[in-house]
Structure formats: structure tokens, C-alpha cells
Chains A and B, each alone.
Chain A
Amino acid sequence: MTKIHVTARINGDEVEFLCDPRETMLDVLRDRLGLIGAKEGCGTGDCGACSITLDGRLVCSCLMLGVEAEGREIGTVEGIAEGENLHPLQRKFIEHAALQCGFCTPGILVAAKNLLERNPDPSEEEVRYWLAGNLCRCTGYDKIIRAVLDAAAEMREAS
């Protein structure tokens, strides 16, 4: 099987890789690029653990082919913190204990950050609807919602 050469920007850096046309973006990130933040919970678009941004748009990386990344801008959980400084969402997730096993957390962080970029002051209902495609089998969701709302409030104050 001939592999296809792809050039994309991932978390601001230009990245090149070779991939089989059937490979998902999730597999490319995890198996070819060593970016293992995005997780495979289902592989069928149901759980959101593989969430990334594609040109600023929240998508499931398990529902995208690696070849489709050509020329596009990808954002993953690895790009959320600035060096050693955690993003407010990351800090608030720790403070509110919004994770237990942590499997869903990278996807939820990417999804929540994307929401706050579009809407810095979401209602609880808006957060719950936005994150409806991110399943968590541990926390019962409430702490996640509190953490996102608290991070949003802190980010509004800081700006």
C-alpha cells in the first residue's frame, strides 16, 4: 500500500508525516506522531475522547482521515498549556476534581477551550449541550461543568 505524504500544522508547528489513506487522524496522532493525548474511546464518533480542532472547528479525530489534514491547522490537548503554565481550564479541572480516571479529560479540555473561544460567558445549559458529545464514565459530569464555568469566569476577569 502506497503511503501518502501529508504536511499540516499541529499546535502551531509544521509537521510532515506519511500515512496510509485509511488511517484515521487519531491513529496518525497517536501512532505516528507520539501525540497520545487524544484517546480512542469508541472509534465511531460517540464519545468525544479523541476531540481535536481542525482549522479551529471541534471534530472527532477518529472520524477524520490523516490525509485530510493536508494543509490544515490541527489543535490537540498537547497545545493547551503554555510551557509549564497550565491553561485555566486545566487548573480548574484539578481544583474541582473534575476527573477520575482521566480518559475523557483531554477531549473535554479541547472541547471546552473551543467553546470558551467562541463564547466566553456560556450558561450552564450551553456548556452541557456543547459537551454532550463527550462521555465520562467516572465523574457524573457535574464537577466538569463546575470546572468549565469557573475557568470561564476566571478567564473573563483576567481579560
Chain B
Amino acid sequence: MDYHKPSTFEEAVAIAAGAAGTTRFLAGGTDILVQMRSGIATPEVLIDIKGIAGTRDIVREDDGGWCIGVAVTGAELTEHAEIGHDWPGVIEAVGLIGSTQVQGRATPVGNLCNASPAADSVPALVAAGAEVTVQGPEGTRRVPVEDIPTGPGRTSLKKGEVVTALRLPPRGRGGGDAYQRFIPRTEMDIAVIGCGVSLRVSGLVITEARMALGAVAPTVEPVRGAADALVGTRLEKSALDALADLAQAACNPIDDKRGTVKFRTHLAGVYARRVARIAYERARAAQ
């Protein structure tokens, strides 16, 4: 295996585009090292992107949004003084990934590119409307996070393409988000289901709504009808009922040791209501 530590993304792209054989990018390494050890992945070329300027930075952009470097760890995000004020749901989702030790290395962009349907940060990022910038041999593009995973362990990134930054939109007034997952213990487990909701309110009335579910389908599932169910409502019982129905309808889960299809589908409704309520309270408090 060849190990490269480029100092620019141009260099990283050139190495990846010209590489023969399996190529992987290395940020926190908490997934790829496990895959290498178990033989699931045997990269011939490993490109460590942590030496590239800016990859460790969390920057507030001029429009009030956030640009998060691809090597920023979970611990750096949860310790950041301001970003959790804007996007508490994203940050609580990131903070649920693994142990203290894993938080010290794992990155949300790695969580996204590992493409597990149960990735904790991804439903929160989808609900938040986050995007990534992707650089490749053909140039740079911006991609909504929900378009990166295409199936368990698979992404839409093409040969030579690398994610260069994660972007959260400006939060603005009256915005609130939340993420929760169900696990049978309190720590160190993988989501049986996860749910992220982001809302905006004006007074008591919801004006924008996005929701996404984890671990109920081959990829994290944006619940596209969430806005129709919630916008114009005050999150009354009828709105929550409609949201829970949509969440359950979006489920296409598997039976496995963590939960049955029936249980996961049931939980999707429970968590849709629960998480929407938290996001609503946060949004109301942020006016």
C-alpha cells in the first residue's frame, strides 16, 4: 500500500485520478482502519488529507453559514463555542458517534462517505440542508449531502473525486433542529433508527420543515413530504400524526439483530413526533 500525504486538494485529486487499484482517502480513519483490518477494504493507495491547509478549520462564512474542514473531528465540533448554538441537532448527532476515543478522530465527512444507513450525523445533516463541495478531475461541484450515499458502503463520488468541505447553511432567525436515535443502551451502539428534524417558525407557525431518517432504508432517507405536513401548522396533534404517518411510509428497513421491520417502522413514527417537538421548541426559542 502506498501512503500519500498531499498538501493541496489538486495534488490529492491527481494522485487519486492516476492511481491504479483501490484508492481510499484517510481522514479520521475510524472506519477505514477497521475495514483494512477485517479485509473488507484493502486499499493499494491511501491518501491522507489531513495535511491540506484548511481541512482542520471551522469557519463562519460571510452569509452566516459554516464551512467545516474535512478533517475536523467530532470532539472539535462538540467543543466549538458557536456552531452548536446555530445547529444543536447536527452537533448532538455528531456527538453520538462512538466513544470519547472515536470522537477524537472521527469526522462527520467520514461518517457521510462511509455511507452506512445508520450513520448518526447524516440524518441531521440532511435535515439541516447541508452540502459538501466535491473536487475531481473535472472541477468542483456542490452536492447536497443526501446525494452522496447511494447504498450501504457506496457513494456517488467518482474516481478521483474527494469531498473538500462540509457546508451548513446560515441558520437565521426562528430556526431549530434536533436529532435522536434509538439504541437499547445509553452509549457505544449503532442506531436502530435515527431521526433528524430542522424547522423554522414565525411566531408559533412553522414556515419551513425538513426531516430525514437513518437505519430504515439502504441510505439515509429524506422524508420529502415533511414540509407539506408541517408548514402552516403549530405542530398540533394532527400535524404530528401526519408527520408520523409520513415517517412510517418512508421506511423500507431490514430485519436484523438490532430490530425487526415492524419495530423499526413503529419507532420511526415515535421518533418523528419526539424529535419534531424538540426542534419546534428550539426554533421558537431562537426568534
Interface residues of A, Cβ cutoff 8 Å to B: 4, 21-22, 24, 43-46, 48, 51, 54, 57-60, 62-65, 67-68, 111, 115, 129-134
Contact = CB atoms under 8 A, between A and B. Distances in A.
A59 B107 CA distance: 13
Interface in B1-43: 1-3, 26, 28-30, 33-34, 36-38
Contact of B104 (A4, A24, A44, A59): A59
Contacts of B73: 57
The 6 closest A-B pairs by CB, nearest first: A133-B99, A21-B3, A132-B187, A57-B104, A59-B104, A60-B101
A133 B3 CA distance: 29
Given A44-B34, A45-B33, A45-B99, 11 more contacts: A21-B2, A22-B36, A58-B100, A58-B101, A63-B30, A63-B101, A63-B102, A65-B3, A67-B3, A129-B100, A132-B188
Looking at chain A's contact residues, the main secondary structure is mixed
Contacts of A133: 98-102, 187-188
Contacts, number: 80
B188 A63 contact: no
A63 B3 contact: no
A2 to B, nearest CB: 9
Contacts of B46: 21
B101 A24 contact: no
A111 B101 contact: yes
Contacts of B104: 54, 57-59
B266 interface: no
Contacts of A44: 34, 37-38
A18 to B, nearest CB: 13
Nearest to B34: A44
A107 B102 CA distance: 14
Contacts of B102: 45, 60, 63, 133
B75 A21 contact: no
A63 B104 CA distance: 11
Interface of B: 1-3, 26, 28-30, 33-34, 36-38, 46, 48, 50, 73, 75, 98-102, 104-105, 186-188
Given A48-B99, A68-B48, A133-B98, A57 B75 contact: yes
A63 B105 contact: yes
B100 A63 contact: no
A131 B187 CA distance: 10
Most B CB atoms within 10 A — which of A21, A44, A59, A67? A59
B33 A64 contact: yes
Contacts of B1: 21-22
Contacts of A46: 188
Most B CB atoms within 10 A — which of A21, A54, A60, A134? A60
Contacts of B33: 24, 45, 62-65
A129 B29 contact: no
Contacts of B28: 63
Contacts of A62: 33
Given A22-B1, A44-B37, A57-B104, A132 B99 contact: yes
A64 B29 contact: yes
A64 B105 contact: yes
Most A CB atoms within 10 A — which of B38, B46, B102? B102
A63 B26 CA distance: 11
Nearest to A48: B101
A132 B100 contact: yes
Contacts of A115: 100
B34 A45 contact: yes
Contact of B101 (A43, A59, A129): A59
Contacts of A22: 1, 36
Contacts of A58: 100-101, 104
B101 A45 contact: yes
7 contacts: A45-B98, A54-B104, A60-B102, A63-B33, A63-B105, A130-B100, A133-B98
